[in-house]
Structure formats: C-alpha cells, structure tokens
Amino acid sequence: MKTLLIIDVQNDFMPGGTLAVPNADKIIPVINSIQPKFDLVVAAQDWHPKDHVSFASNHQNKIPFDEIEVHGKQQTLWPDHCVQGTEGAKFHAALLTQKWEAIFRKGTDKSMDSYSAFYDNGRLKSTGLIGYLKEKGTTQLFLCGLAADICVYFSIHDAFNEGFKCFFIEDASQPLDYEQFNKQKKEMESLGIQVVSASNI
C-alpha cells in the first residue's frame, strides 16, 4: 500500500506564524495535488501544552534558539508554537483534509519534545503511528511537510529504521535551515531513501 504522511502543515509554521518556515505556504497546493495518488493519507500535528519544555518563554533568562539540556539531550528552545487548541495549532485552511484517515498528535508531553511523527525525542513514547501503518499494510511511505530539516527529517529516519520503504517529497516540504537540510538530503540518499518531486509520484 502506498501511503502519504503529511507532517505539521500548521498555521504557526506559515509566514507570519510564531515559528515561520520560509515559503511554507508554497507547499500547500503541491500537497493538495498529490493526495489522490495515494491509497492512504495520514497526518501528524504538533500539539503542545502551553508549559512545554521546548518553549523559551518557560525558562528564565532564555530566548528562542538558545540550547539547554533535557533528559541528557540537547534541546533547542523555540518560540511558543502549536499550543493545543489555538489558531496557530490548526492546519492551514487551504490544506485539503477530506482524504485523511487519521491524525497523529505529537509533542503532547510537557517534559519532552517530539520532532518525529513516530516517537518523542527520548524515544520513551510512541505515537502509535508505526503500528497503525503496519496494520494498514503500508509498504511505501511518502513523507512531506514542515519543517523538512526537523520534523520531516526525524520522521523519515524513524520510518526507515522501522523497515518502511521511504520517499521524501522535496517540493511538498520546506526547511527552516537550507544549509542543514542540504547535508541531510545527501545523508538520506546515501541510506537509500529516495528524494522525489510531486511530478515523479
């Protein structure tokens, strides 16, 4: 089964959002155009409590993009984003959602960040997405969304390590840091993860 996983195409990551990804809104028509090509479409949604450990506002004398240590791991501090129940946490209004069969929320534990759609950063808790995709019979998994160098990248790695044949849809994704993303893209290709464009699907 050919499955599309759409990651974090939410208002706070759009231009004008609290954690805007450059040109994020450009991917919406691309994602809308490819959805009919898939047997199964699912989405991941960043869904943070307002006292989340990754928010710089919850740490004295810290500003966004400072680094701290959480559970022995480096943690980037972000502007408040995708707070549960807020407008910023909603999917972009132009994104077509009718074909989506499930939404998996991540980052819900206030004490641990969760970049991947599959596990939190400490790999302490699963979102249940792996079991869902395997039960559905997913063999080929195509991933896209925001940000390409963070949540999409970590999701691809987890999916690949779980044995899925993975494809990254480059023109249906946008990175926060292009330089970092170009290195990651080479790494993905070296592992056998295919980088494709929407027209190749």
For the segment 57-87, what is each residue's pLDDT rounded down to a tens digit? 999 999 999 999 988 889 999 999 999 999 9
In 3D space, the residue among 17, 156, 25, 24 whose CA is nearest the CA of residue 89 turns out to be: 17
CB 104 within 8 A of CB 129: yes
In this structure, what is the dihedral angle of CA atoms 117, 98, 96, 10, given to the nearest 10 degrees? -40
Cα 119 to the center of its chain, rounded Å: 11
Strand 73-76 relative to strand 67-70, pairing: antiparallel
- What are the E-state strand segments in 52-160? 67-70, 73-76, 100-106, 140-146
pLDDT tens track for 104-128: 999 999 999 999 999 999 888 999 9
Q: Evaluate if residue 173 carries a pLDDT over 90.
A: yes
pLDDT tens track for 139-171: 999 999 999 999 999 999 999 999 999 999 999
Q: Evaluate if residue 10 carries a pLDDT over 90.
A: yes
Q: Which residues form the catalytic set?
A: 8, 106, 151
User: What is the spatial distance between Cα 106 and Cα 77, in angstroms, rounded to a whole number?
Assistant: 17
2-49+81-200: CATH architecture:
3-Layer(aba) Sandwich (3.40)
Helix (H) or strand (E) holding 186: helix 178-191
> What is residue 71's predicted lDDT score, i.e. its pLDDT?
84
